[in-house]
Amino acid sequence: MMGNSKKVFIKTYGCQMNVYDSARMEDVLKPLGYEMTDGPKDANMVILNTCHIREKASEKVYSELGRLKNIKKRRDEENEMIIAVAGCVAQAEGEEISRRAPYVDMVFGPQSYHNLPEMIAKAHRAGNEQGRGVLMTEFPAEDKFDHLPAPTKPEGYSAFLSIQEGCDKFCTYCVVPYTRGAEYSRPAEHVMREARELVAQGAMEITLLGQNVNAYHGDDGRGGEWTLGRLIRELAEIDGLERIRYTTSYPAEVTDDLITAHAEVPQLMPYLHLPIQSGSNRVLAAMNRDHTREQYLETIAKLKAARPDLALSSDFIVGFPGENERDFEDTLDMIRQVKFILAYSFVYSPRPGTPAATMDLQVEAAVANERLQVLQQLLKDVQAEFNNDCVGKEFPILLEREGRREGQLVGRSPYMQPVHVKAPLDLIGKIADLKIIEARQNSLGAELVNVERKHA
């Protein structure tokens, strides 16, 4: 297999951690002679890197598998296609996948990507009556990150870096603790090395990833541990790393140390994704979130005292079991108070094996959908207000690529808004001061003020 070119198509669902993992799988597959391709048609192997978070997300996988089955059927022995299911659905459903889709050859969970060469060899040895029956869904004791090759930076100036994986919070609606396992922090030195490599390859912005990233406590190799705050301070010393972000954080674990980092580290962007899920204390308690709305607001007040230009985004679940109109009003009130500049919102989806799935008082779908509409309209209004308030202000913008219009570049503001500006091509890969002159629902228009300003 080595040397002769085979093609692999990796389709990624779900969160940024899956995006990161898919890139790592590419890094494992390239030395085996696999080239990336962007569709199943010419692929010798298709990997679906799946998400189990809501029912819709996992059902998508089965409809995609249905389509792949037809392609696989038309292939001959010379030009066979291996179908693999990776990620959180693989971890949660394991053999069930082979039962529902017997033509699937490999099923493996998020902790086993470094074993891909071994799994592929096994699949090649197996006969292909139906699927090849390769299954790997244990949580191995060793650190998969230790066994993965050095990362290649993706195109562009922005890179993800997973520093923490798994979750011990057990929110009553959530599958992540079951699909990703217990909380694990990568050793500090490994993270630093990977960050330096990414910057050496041209990354100007790094987003630190973890299901519960602010719980990071990486071994420092000297019997101690680094907090996320410490890690951010050390990363800020890397020459050429202009922007640092981290996601996703758990509100009850935003420490004073982390808040101080927001005050002290200019490279740390004034934008934080801090999911609240609900504005009602009753619902938060039923969700097993370890904080009240008051504590959440207090944390935000502290963050804003440290970094006055800080803005927040969030996630919301509506229609959680037992949620009534008053609870929902509390959520709307929360949005009005905090003025989240962006939010992802979902109707509660009961997940097999989670405590909330069997709670009494499941909310009717029609009611939940109605609430979602109201919530999303409010979020849209609040976002539009923020974007409008940006008009007239100047921001440092990392110019990333050409826009669709002639002479136009696209960048991202500290708040992640896409910004369009007329500017010369050689400004790509630079941070420029731009004045915002126009606001749209999801993007901004700007004019060039000044080039080559460093840090926010």
| 17 sits near ligand SF4 (criterion: CB under 6 A) | no
Q: Which does 351 bind (CB under 5 to 8 A by kind): ligand F3S, ligand SAH, ligand SF4, none?
A: ligand SAH
C-beta closer to ligand SF4: residue 54 or 243: 54
The response to whether 390 counts as a known ligand-binding position is no
Minimum CB distance to ligand F3S, residue 175 (Å) = 6
Q: Closest separation between CB of residue 155 and ligand F3S, Å?
A: 22
Pick from 177, 275, 321, 396 the residue near ligand SAH by CB under 6 A: 275
The span from the CA of 62 to the CA of 95, in Å, is 14
One of 62, 139, 346, 386 touching ligand SAH (CB under 6 A)? 346
Stretch that binds ligand SF4, among 165-173, 228-236, 239-247, 437-445 (CB under 6 A): 165-173
Task: Please tell me whether residue 371 binds ligand SAH under the rule CB under 6 A.
Answer: no
74-82, 124-132, 168-176, 297-305 -> range binding ligand SF4 (CB under 6 A): 168-176
Q: x/- site string to ligand SF4, residues 177 to 216, per CB under 6 A?
A: x---------------------------------xx----
Shortest Cβ distance from residue 180 to ligand SF4 (Å)? 8
Footprint of ligand F3S (CB under 6 A) = 14-15, 17-18, 51-53, 87-88, 175-176, 179-180, 211
Instruction: Pick one of 250, 316, 348, 395: the residue that binds ligand SF4 (CB under 6 A).
Output: 250
Among 161, 207, 206, 213, which Cα is nearest to 183's?
A: 213
Residue 177 binding: pick among ligand SAH, ligand F3S, ligand SF4, none (C-beta 5-8 Å cut-off by kind): ligand SF4
Binding residue for ligand SAH, selected from 111, 158, 248, 313, defined by CB under 6 A? 248
Q: Which stretch binds ligand SAH (CB under 6 A): 84-92, 94-102, 170-178, 228-236?
A: 170-178
Write out the residues near ligand SAH by the rule CB under 6 A: 53-54, 173-174, 176, 211-212, 248, 250, 275, 277, 315, 317, 346, 348-349, 351
